[in-house]
Amino acid sequence: SGHIALPDYRSLTTLKYDDDGTEREVQVPKGDTLHQFRKDVGSGQLPAVSWIVAPCNFSDHPGAAWYGAWYVSEVMNILTEVPEVWKKTIFVLCYDENDGYFDHVPPFTAPHPLRPETGKCSEGIDTAVDWANAHGRDHSIGLGYRCPLVVASPWSRGGCVNSQVFDHTSVLQLIETWLEGKGKQVPETNISVWRRTVCGDLSSTFRPYNGEKIALPKPLDRDTTIEGIHTAKFKRAPVGGKALSEEEIERVDVGALQEPGTRPSCPLPYELVVDGLRNGNELVLLMEARQNVFGKESQGAPFNAYGYGESMGSRAYAVEAGKSIRDTWPAEGAYHVRVDGPNGFMREFRGNGDDPKVAVNVGYAGGKSPNGKVEIRLSSTAAEALAVEVRDESYATRAQRKTLAPSGSAMVTIDTKASHGWYDFTVVISGLAYRYAGRVETGRWSVTDPAMA
pLDDT more than 70, % of the chain: 98
Q: Exposed, middle or buried by CB within 10 Å (0-12, 13-18, 19+), for 159?
A: exposed
- Same domain, residue pair 68 and 171: yes
pLDDT at residue 254 above 80?
no
* Tens-place pLDDT, residues 352-397: 989 999 999 999 999 999 999 999 999 999 999 999 999 999 999 9
288 and 430 in a single domain? The answer is yes
Q: How many domains does the chain have?
A: 2
Is residue 96 in a domain?
A: yes
- 305 with 442, same domain: the answer is yes
Q: Please report whether residue 392 resides in a domain.
A: yes
Same domain as 320, residue 185: no
Residue range 215-221: mean pLDDT, rounded: 92
Residue 45 lies in a domain: yes
Q: What size, in residues, is the chain? A: 453
Does the pLDDT value for residue 294 go beyond 90? yes
Which DSSP string do the residues of 388-432 spell out, in sequence order? Answer: EEEEESSS-PPPEEEEEPTT-EEEEEEE-GGGTTEEEEEEEETTE
- Dist. CA 36–CA 250, nearest whole Å: 55
pLDDT at 445: 97
Q: What is the average pLDDT across 105-109?
A: 94
Domain assignment of residue 336, given as a range: 266-452
CA gap 311, 154 in Å, rounded: 50
- What lies within 8 Å, CB to CB, of 245 at 6+ separation is none
- Residue 318 in this model has a pLDDT that exceeds 90: yes
In this predicted structure, the answer to whether residue 19 has a pLDDT above a threshold of 70 is yes
Residue 2 has pLDDT above 50, yes or no: no
Confidence band (pLDDT; 50, 70, 90) for 94?
very high
Same domain membership, residue 161 and residue 16? yes
Tell me, yes or no, whether 111 lies in a domain: no
- 285 is a domain residue: yes
275, 215: one domain: no
In the listed set 180, 215, 230, which residue is the last one of a domain according to the structure? 230
Q: Are 171 and 304 within one domain? A: no
Mean pLDDT comparison of 58-72, 242-256, 258-272, highest-scoring range: 258-272
Is residue 314 located within the same domain as residue 359?
yes
- Say yes or no: 446 and 344 in one domain: yes
> Does a structural domain hold residue 443?
yes
pLDDT in the model for residue 96: 87
Tens of pLDDT along 65-77?
Answer: 788 999 999 999 9
Same domain, yes or no, for 190 and 319?
Answer: no
Same domain for 306 and 188, yes or no, is no
Task: Check pLDDT > 90 for residue 404.
Answer: yes
**φ and ψ at 27, to 5 degrees?**
-80, 135
Model confidence at 214, in pLDDT bands (50, 70, 90)? confident
Rg (CA), the chain: 27
pLDDT in tens, 422-441: 999 999 999 999 999 999 99
Largest CA distance in the chain: 89
Distance CA 319, CA 338 (A): 17
Residue 62 reports pLDDT greater than 70: yes
Domain contains 370: yes
User: 368 and 312 in one domain?
Assistant: yes
Looking at 208, 230, 252, the residue that finishes a domain is 230
CA distance 297 to 309: 39
Global pTM exceeds 0.85: yes
- Band (pLDDT 50/70/90 cuts) for residue 1 is very low
How high is the pLDDT of residue 276?
A: 98
Question: Over the chain, what is the mean pLDDT?
Answer: 94
Please report whether residue 259 resides in a domain.
no
Q: pLDDT of 135-172, one tens digit each?
A: 889 999 989 999 999 999 999 988 899 999 999 999 99
Residue 136, classified by CB atoms within 10 Å of its CB into exposed (0-12), middle (13-18) or buried (19+), is: exposed
**d(Cα 433, Cα 269) in Å, to the nearest integer?**
29
**pLDDT level of residue 57 (50, 70, 90 thresholds):** confident
- Note the pLDDT of residue 256: 65
- Domain boundary residue, one of 184, 213, 230: 230
pLDDT band, very low/low/confident/very high, at 35 (cuts 50, 70, 90)? very high
Residue 311 predicted with pLDDT over 80 = no
